[in-house]
Structure 1
Amino acid sequence: MKEELEKRLVKGPDGVEFEVEPLRDYYCEAPPTVMPAAYSNIVEDLFNWARSESIWILGFGTGCGAIEMRPLMTPRFDAYRYGVQWRPTPRQANLFVISGYLSVKTLKRAIRSYEQMQNPKYVIGLGSCTINGGMYWDSYNTIKRLDEYLPVDLYITGCMPRPEALLEGFMDLKKLIKQGKAEGANQYAEKFEWYKANQKRVIHDWDMPDYSW
């Protein structure tokens, strides 16, 4: 991976060689910026209502929590009736659900996935592992508190939370969005240097751009 990111010469279809620098050419170097509210409170309320009724999830399951998300797609729980559905890529999602524990290696992937999502976006930490490391709290390689590395709008507690708890969590997130209080993405932009310093403190082999969307 590191070799692929190094500056090198590439030959084009016409036989002409040119230099590419992947970290500069393939990624955006601009840091995140705070997304301003609409010019009118009424318009912003309308936007927030629409956002709350269209929750598209990118699931990041590294533990048993991912198992509890699957029943929500079945007729018994039917999360789709609440405007909740799952998407395959970060570009199509506005809610990042992280379940199970994060190691240093998987934290790197979580950061990149989150930064590829478009604003406005939200994060739910699912289960005890994202809050305090869960049963892996004393592991040298486990991230103990997710909100030190990514902005968490809502935690759903338990080990593991049942599907009913997930639905209740989605309803709580909807309320926060409608009230204009789900400001995790703006918080990430405002405290970007703090988050990035925390990320680099635990990821010693940092081989990504500082902002990779």
Structure 2
Amino acid sequence: MLTPLGVVKLLSKLATWCRKRSPWILHINTGSCNNCDIEIINALTPKFDVERFGILLEGSPRHADILVVTGPLTKQTSAEVRRIYEQTPNPKVVVAVGTCASSGGIFRNSYHVDGPVERLI
């Protein structure tokens, strides 16, 4: 059975192990109205301080672990999003933020919308 000191040491080792590879985020705006962008940036500011968990906003897809996509996927941005997705190393996660990225939102039947992100990736 572990003593209280043993539990603390075990939790400390676990926390160190978890911090070895913290997720880095790349934000992709495909033509949104900026509402979702404001929420994402707000989560990354000192108010919530996600950097204490090691989460960083990255500028290059070659270093990112998580792709955060906002806005409807348009015909103009589809090729760029696909290229960025292919440049991101495995394992990678794609998060569609908001209804525009996940389903097309109010722009769903518009002539220039290429569909939700899951259709491309």
- Please report the TM-score for the alignment, with normalisation by the length of structure 2: 0.75
- Equivalent position of 1:54 in the other structure: 22
CA displacement at 1:84 relative to structure 2: 1.4
Secondary structure class of the residue paired with 2:47? coil
RMSD: 2.1
- Equivalent position of 1:121 in the other structure: 92
- Equivalent position of 2:42 in the other structure: 71
**Pick from 99, 103, 107: which aligns with 1:136?**
107
Measured against aligned partners, the alpha-carbon deviations of 1:121-164 in whole angstroms (never above 9, x if no partner) come to: 111011001222111112011132221211xxxxxxxxxxxxxx
- Correspondence 1:104 to 2:75: yes
8 Å contact from structure 1 (residues 129, 144) kept in 2? no
Q: Which has the higher strand share?
A: 2
Distance 1:115 1:94 in 2: 12
Distance 2:110 2:72 in 1: 11
Distance 1:113 1:97 in 2: 11
- Please report the TM-score for the alignment, with normalisation by the length of structure 1: 0.45
Pick closer, same or farther for the CA change 1:132–1:82 going to 2, 3 Å. Answer: same
Distance 1:91 1:53 in 2: 15
- Correspondence 1:82 to 2:53: yes
The one-letter code sitting in structure 1 at the alignment partner of 2:57 is W
Pick closer, same or farther for the CA change 1:132–1:53 going to 2, 3 Å. Answer: same
Gap regions ≥5 residues in structure 1: 1-45, 151-213
Pick closer, same or farther for the CA change 1:78–1:104 going to 2, 3 Å. Answer: same
- Equivalent position of 2:6 in the other structure: none
Pick closer, same or farther for the CA change 1:141–1:81 going to 2, 3 Å. Answer: same
Pick closer, same or farther for the CA change 1:71–1:102 going to 2, 3 Å. Answer: same
Distance 1:52 1:140 in 2: 45
Distance 1:106 1:51 in 2: 34
Percent of pairs with identical residues: 35
